[in-house]
């Protein structure tokens, strides 16, 4: 079965750029999306089709996908961005990465 691997945690200082990776075999040939989940809340879609932002998602969120790695980039990270982030891709089914806890120090 297809698997996606994310780092358990990423730390960033306010105002800096955070990059969260998601790795999978030939992931660049599949569409990926990213979800943000804050404690006690349901996930929220922040990137779909590798790099598209749903309406209402701040421009500081961007995505890319090439080779075996997809990356979620948050430029000018704010304290409110502290959350868990999950990548998701399409195989025969839908697959989620294990999640990354983003800490804004």
Partner 1 sequence: QVQLRESGPGLVKPTETLSLTCTVSGDSGDYWSWIRQPPGKGLEWIGYVYNDGRTNSKPSLRSRVTISIDTSRKQVSLNLYSVTAGDTAIYYCAGASGNYAGFDSWGQGTLVTVSS
What is the rounded distance in angstroms from the CA atom of residue 105 to the CA atom of residue 102?
10
Contact status: 58 vs partner 1 (CB under 8 A): no
Contact status: 57 vs partner 1 (CB under 8 A): no
Task: Yes or no: say if 42 and 84 are a contact pair by the CB < 8 Å rule.
Answer: no
Of 15 and 54, CB closest to partner 1: 54
Residues 64-103 close enough to bind partner 1 by CB under 8 A: 86, 88, 90, 92-99
**Minimum distance from CB of 105 to partner 1 (Å)?**
22
What is the rounded distance in angstroms from the CA atom of residue 11 to the CA atom of residue 76?
13
């Amino acid at each position: 079965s297809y698997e996606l691997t994310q780092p358990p945690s990423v730390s960033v200082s306010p105002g800096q750029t955070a990059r969260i990776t998601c790795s999978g075999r030939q992931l660049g040939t599949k569409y990926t999306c990213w979800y943000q989940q804050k404690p006690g809340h349901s996930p929220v879609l922040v990137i779909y089709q590798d790099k598209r932002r749903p309406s209402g998602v701040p421009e500081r969120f961007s995505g890319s996908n090439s080779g075996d790695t997809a990356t979620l980039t948050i430029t000018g990270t704010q304290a409110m961005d502290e959350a868990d982030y999950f990548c998701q891709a399409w195989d025969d089914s839908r697959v989620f990465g294990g999640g990354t806890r983003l800490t804004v120090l």
